[in-house]
Structure 1
Amino acid sequence: MPIGTITALRAQAHDSQRVNVFLDGEFAIGVSLNTLVREGLAVGQQLDEAGWARLEATEQVDKTLQAAMRLIDSRPRSVAELRQRLRRKEFPDTAIDQAVARLSD
């Protein structure tokens, strides 16, 4: 069951690394360029409930990864400390696990 069709992808005014996604002419979600490419989003693409859930999950992991990189940019941190700080920021455990795994690679 389709949720909607992507009708526009527009760069955000204040952050050139993010894009606004419009479904059926209405703003739906802002995503990073990484999420845009990873999910292969394009104008005219139909999103169903599973695609929408995958898009939200991918964006959550990317936000968690960006927060983790900001934390380790200030000083080196152990994996345990990084996880603890991300939990304090209320990121979901699944997103934290995936972000830490990407940083470990």
Structure 2
Amino acid sequence: MTRIITAIEPQKKDPKRVNIYLDDEFAFGLAGYLAVWLKVGQVLTQEKINALTSDDLLESTVHKALHFLSFRPRSVSEVRKNLAGRDIPENAIEVTITRLQENSFLDDLKFAQDWVANRKDFRPCSRSALQMELRLKGIPDDVIQTALDDVDDDVLTLQAARKYAHRLTGLNKLEFRKKLSAHLARRGFSFASINPIVMLAWNEIQSAFDHGASNNNEDNSWTL
């Protein structure tokens, strides 16, 4: 079965797309660049029509995925779920994901490594908490393990303690230990690692306070 192109018109809402009319009836829309070689009077086979609409679907799916990725990095699973929620055929989704991976727009290992690095710098949490967060993002277990290869829970516990401890200055030792321990527990750290780190943080706070007090006394000794 063949059909004849009787009109090619730009879309009003999106001038980068065109409407294709076959035998004086609207047939389908196409991305402008896909319609460059089409002209009025051209005969299209059903096979050619299927190829054009398939290419257009893929183009549209890629644009939707890139828009989703423009807000922040995403995992493969996040992109797949987002596209599936738009009722896009599975084969178009998988071809799109492959294309994005080939062009470095999607990379689960880099996503996981960046996630871990960000957590270390801004919101330290335990190795097990990081593992859970990455699983919720759909990252495969083997990729998670690679991303966590250099993660040391003791180091993370100390980082998290130091970031929070400055909020607790002025508290007595008991209140300091209670509040900092609770904070670290919420971040997923084990009590075995929390206790010595809390004491270390307390000693650091006291040392800094004593050092500051000593400097103030030295400054005052020169005042007559």
Residue by residue, what CA displacement relative to the aligned partner does 1:72-105 show, whole Å, maximum 9, x if unpaired? Answer: 0111111121111111111111111222222232
Residue 41 of structure 1, CA deviation? 2.3
Q: Which amino acid aligns with 1:98?
A: V
- Consecutive unaligned residues in structure 2, runs of 5 or more: 104-224
Superposition misfits of 4+ residues, deviation over 3 angstroms: none
| Alignment RMSD | 1.5
Aligned mates of 2:100, 2:32 — CA distance in 1:
18
Give TM-score scaled by structure 1 length: 0.85
Residue 13 of structure 1, CA deviation? 1.2
Aligned mates of 2:75, 2:34 — CA distance in 1:
27
- Is 1:20 aligned to residue 19 of structure 2? yes
Q: Which amino acid aligns with 1:61?
A: L
In the alignment, which of 42, 45, 51 is matched to residue 45 of structure 1? 42
Residue 34 of structure 1, CA deviation? 3.5
Give TM-score scaled by structure 2 length: 0.43
- Consecutive unaligned residues in structure 1, runs of 5 or more: none
**Percentage identity across paired residues of the two chains:** 36
Please tell me whether the aligned partners of residues 35 and 62 of structure 1 are also in contact (alpha carbons under 8 angstroms).
Answer: no
Residue of structure 1 equivalent to 2:30: 31
Residue of structure 2 equivalent to 1:76: 73
- Higher RCO (CA-CA < 8 Å; seq separation 6+): 1
Aligned mates of 2:91, 2:39 — CA distance in 1:
27
Aligned mates of 2:98, 2:8 — CA distance in 1:
29
Which protein is bigger by CA-based radius of gyration?
Answer: 2
In the alignment, which of 86, 89, 95 is matched to residue 86 of structure 2? 89
Higher strand share: 1
Higher helix share: 2
Aligned mates of 1:49, 1:67 — CA distance in 2:
27
Q: Which amino acid aligns with 2:25?
A: E
Aligned mates of 2:34, 2:66 — CA distance in 1:
16
Aligned length: 102
Residue 24 of structure 1, CA deviation? 1.6
Residue by residue, what CA displacement relative to the aligned partner does 1:44-80 show, whole Å, maximum 9, x if unpaired? Answer: 2211111121122111111211110110011111112
Q: Which amino acid aligns with 2:12?
A: A
SS of the residue corresponding to residue 26 of structure 2 reads strand
